[in-house]
Amino acid sequence: MKTYQTSEIKNIVLVGGAGSGKTTLAEALAYEGKVIDRRGSIENDNTLSDNSDLEHIYKRSIYPTLLYTEFMNRKLNIIDAPGSDDFCGGVFSAFKVADVAVMVFNAQTGFDVGSEIQSRYAMATKKPLIGAVNQLDHDKANWEQTIESIQSQSRVKPVLVQYPVSVGATFDSFIDLLLMKMYRFKDENGTREELEIPASEMDRAMELHGELLEAAAENDEVLMNKYFETGELTPDEIRKGMRLGITNRDFMPIFCVSGKKDIGTKRLMEFIINVAPNPAEAVPMTDVEGNDVKADPAAAPSLFVFKSSIESHVGEVSYFRVTTGKITEGMELINPRTGNKEKLSQIFAVAGKNRVKVSEMMAGELGCTVKLKGTRTNDTLVGGGSNVQISPIVFPEPRYRAAVRALNQADEEKLGDLLNKAKYEDPTILVEYSKELKQTIIQGQGEHHLNILKYQITNYNKIDIEFFAPKIPYRETITKVAAADYRHKKQSGGAGQFGEVHLVIEPYYEGMPEPSKYKVGGRDLIVNIKNKEEYTLDWGGKLQYYSSIVGGAIDARFMPAILKGIMEKMDEGPLTGSYARDIRVVVYDGKMHPVDSNEISFKLAGRNAFKEAFKAAGPKIMEPIYSVEILVPTDKMGDVMSDLQNRRAMIEGMSSESGVDRLTARVPLAELYRYSTTLSSLTNGRATYTMKFLSYEQVPSDVQDKLLKAYADTDKDE
């Protein structure tokens, strides 16, 4: 393979909802560029992308697949991104290194929920869009409805570059409004003939051609003046205006394709090569300080790793974009994160599972290397004295959580290693051992996302595991003032144990006045503060700890022990064993013994006095509340609303955009286990959601009663 210069490279990502036909279109693109000599199919499990065993089983894209095609003496790098939002991490990785997104629409469903999700991601990453209406050969294809849905819902204005002469089984030709030609396809291998536009289509073609000219001219003052003067622009002038409009995300040109029959594929590639920005012209990547990092082939060499995987018989494979300069085989680069050297022993151009060894790559290129020692996704490698670090891919917050364990306890350590490897390959999988919950919690984008991981561990690594409902990280606090005292006394033949603590507790809130007087046991208790300590708790909230001991009732050396006992009970709250928070404690009296008093005695006395006071202080349990935003087809809104009401949700807002409704709600985390599965079932997979922690709020009394009852049997007095 020749070395392509930066100006000869185009980087695109194929995005769109599940079932839009991205993988089939990618296959046609590769075929037209002679990277393959025959097109594979999803049904036969032989496409360049979707080449893993899991993708063959599920007949859908799970991982982003890098491939390329060579056309018109240019190299077109293509990333086939997953359409299911359970695997959106691959979309974010692809958006990071691609310069243009080709949004693939299913001509049967138009601008669906999947299109809405992907277009939001494109907007967040400022990626230009080119639209391709696919599957126009399907019996249920509807061009008019598809275009109407795009016009009403797309965040970027659609502009027709082509329209089909007919759709369905007879789809074999389209009118090209840029070149003002009709293209007819003779077979399913991309063989086309260029014809004049029929008289029956000329009026419609001229009208749409005018709209295309106007859209192109709007982006350049010189072009606008010429268009006003002559009413015409040359094809090159149209391309110039469209290049500006696409790069600025002012509009999205729309093309007609059938990936299955290879109709329109070649024309789409011609447009991308002629009009889409190359890496030097595209919106530049940025470094961690927000500075632009332009794809300058003359700069010092650097690359950014956007995907990592582990392959049997190969080991670690790192997929990268050359951000600046030129990299060569055998080059040594530095990882600024670790400070270690990494050697590029081999460099490959990637066509799915096929790899072509190359000796060098220029700025803007996409490729892979193997067996880097400590480099991971989001790392930058630099040479030539450069210290640039590319800003990392920001992956979405997880939406699904489950507890995980090995069915055979002897496999727990091996399971931990496998989960860490999963995080390495897929940064949207989060794994942590929760000291609070005493569970290993795994988080991902949906139940299907985590079930894929479970399948791999069970079938490839032969470890039986189970996912189950995780405990909820409740918080405990109080609502009123309460006092308690506790005497710890123990005799065991020798030195005994003795400590007595009297304390009062009250709810803490920011800005509250210092304590001075309490009503305890029907009498006023005046407190004279001797010492104050305030702690911001790791799990949120605060603890204020005051000593108001007078007359030496408790020696000052025992006050830290009392605090330690209180903190132990804050760490394992009296109600459900959850963390306690936002409490003020005043120790105002007590007793000690000249021989038997020691730190352990006062720790236990403080712990139990706090526990008794807590239970008398109007205790309440607080639960985590999440803000949930759901995108749902209008015809399924009623079912989704009904389900949310059963989950104790509080609806906060609704909006509608031509067939897709957006709903926001506050939902307790305890009610969200397996919600992704329920939502998919209710809407036939047509809805999606995001969730983000919002706050802690008090649980309803009936829920609190159930939680107290469930914990009662496990709570043992010291």
Question: Helices (H) and strands (E) in the chain — how many of each?
Answer: 16, 40
Whole-angstrom CA distances from 62 to 23, 227, 418, 541, 684 are 11, 46, 19, 41, 19
CA count, 13 A, side-chain hemisphere, 356: 17
Clarify whether residues 610 and 550 are in a common domain.
yes
Clarify whether residues 197 and 224 are in a common domain.
yes
Clarify whether residues 292 and 438 are in a common domain.
no
23 neighbors 29 (Cβ within 8 angstroms): no
What pLDDT shows up at residue 120? 86
| Torsion of the alpha carbons at 297, 299, 303 and 306, rounded to the nearest 10 | -70
Q: Using CA atoms, how far apart are residues 397 and 401, in angstroms rounded to an integer? A: 11
Q: Using CA atoms, how far apart are residues 471 and 236, in angstroms rounded to an integer? A: 62
Task: Give the pLDDT confidence of 275-302 residue by residue, as tens digits.
Answer: 999 999 999 999 999 999 999 999 999 9
1: in domain: no
Clarify whether residues 548 and 598 are in a common domain.
yes
Task: Give the pLDDT confidence of 438-447 residue by residue, as tens digits.
Answer: 999 999 999 9
- How many structural domains is the chain composed of? 5
Clarify whether residues 278 and 306 are in a common domain.
no
What pLDDT shows up at residue 219? 85
Q: Last residue of a domain, which of 230, 254, 283?
A: 283
Q: Using CA atoms, how far apart are residues 509 and 58, in angstroms rounded to an integer? A: 53
Clarify whether residues 252 and 340 are in a common domain.
no
Clarify whether residues 303 and 377 are in a common domain.
yes
Q: Which residues contact 616 (CB under 8 A, 6 or more apart)?
A: 482, 483, 484
Give yes or no for residue 717 having a pLDDT over 70: no
Q: What is the CATH number of the domain that holds 441?
A: 3.30.70.870
Q: Using CA atoms, how far apart are residues 153 and 659, in angstroms rounded to an integer? A: 9
Q: Last residue of a domain, which of 352, 382, 412?
A: 382
Please state the rounded mean pLDDT for residues 501-517.
95
Q: Which residues contact 212 (CB under 8 A, 6 or more apart)?
A: 159, 160, 161, 177, 178, 238
What pLDDT shows up at residue 495? 76
Q: Last residue of a domain, which of 283, 307, 336?
A: 283
Task: Give the pLDDT confidence of 44-62 residue by residue, as tens digits.
Answer: 999 998 888 888 888 889 9
The model's confidence at residue 175, banded by pLDDT at 50, 70 and 90, is very high
Range in 26-35, 64-73, 477-486, 657-666 the model is least confident about:
657-666
| Torsion of the alpha carbons at 557, 562, 564 and 566, rounded to the nearest 10 | -160
Clarify whether residues 75 and 174 are in a common domain.
yes
Query: How far is C-alpha 626 from the geometric centre of its chain's CA atoms?
Result: 16
The model's confidence at residue 90, banded by pLDDT at 50, 70 and 90, is very high
Cβ burial of 342 (10 Å; 0-12, 13-18, 19+) is buried
129 neighbors 252 (Cβ within 8 angstroms): yes
Clarify whether residues 463 and 435 are in a common domain.
yes
What pLDDT shows up at residue 713? 62
Q: What is the CATH number of the domain that holds 365?
A: 2.40.30.10
Q: Using CA atoms, how far apart are residues 622 and 630, in angstroms rounded to an integer? A: 25
Give yes or no for residue 718 having a pLDDT over 50: no
716: in domain: no
25 neighbors 14 (Cβ within 8 angstroms): yes
The model's confidence at residue 714, banded by pLDDT at 50, 70 and 90, is low
Q: What is the CATH number of the domain that holds 483?
A: 3.30.230.10
Please state the rounded mean pLDDT for residues 63-85.
95
Q: Using CA atoms, how far apart are residues 617 and 480, in angstroms rounded to an integer? A: 5
Whole-angstrom CA distances from 570 to 43, 438, 481, 588 are 58, 16, 17, 19
For 695, other C-beta atoms within 10 Å of its C-beta total 12
Whole-structure pTM over 0.75, yes or no? yes
Clarify whether residues 278 and 378 are in a common domain.
no
3-state helix, strand, coil split of the chain in percent (to 5) is: 30, 35, 35
Query: How far is C-alpha 29 from the geometric centre of its chain's CA atoms?
Result: 28
**Percentage of the chain exceeding pLDDT 90:** 80
62 neighbors 54 (Cβ within 8 angstroms): yes
Residue 591: domain span? 476-618
717: in domain: no
**Cβ burial 269-299 (10 Å sphere, 16+ → b, else e):** bbbbbbbbbbbbbbbbbebeeeeebbbbbeb
Please state the rounded mean pLDDT for residues 360-368.
98
Element (H, E) at 351: strand 347-351
Give yes or no for residue 370 having a pLDDT over 60: yes
337: in domain: yes
Give yes or no for residue 64 having a pLDDT over 90: yes
Angle at 669 between CA 668 and CA 675, to 5 degrees: 105
The model's confidence at residue 96, banded by pLDDT at 50, 70 and 90, is very high
Ramachandran region of residue 16, left (φ > 0), alpha (ψ -120 to 50) or beta? left
Clarify whether residues 496 and 631 are in a common domain.
no
710: in domain: no
392: in domain: no
Q: What is the mean pLDDT of the chain?
A: 93
Clarify whether residues 278 and 297 are in a common domain.
no
Q: Using CA atoms, how far apart are residues 527 and 515, in angstroms rounded to an integer? A: 7
What pLDDT shows up at residue 60? 86
What pLDDT shows up at residue 660? 75
718: in domain: no
Q: What is the CATH number of the domain that holds 674?
A: 3.30.70.240
Task: Give the pLDDT confidence of 235-282 residue by residue, as tens digits.
Answer: 999 999 999 999 999 999 999 999 999 999 999 999 999 999 999 999
148: in domain: yes
Task: Give the pLDDT confidence of 651-699 residue by residue, as tens digits.
Answer: 999 988 656 789 999 999 999 999 999 998 998 877 888 899 999 999 9
Q: What is the CATH number of the domain that holds 226?
A: 3.40.50.300
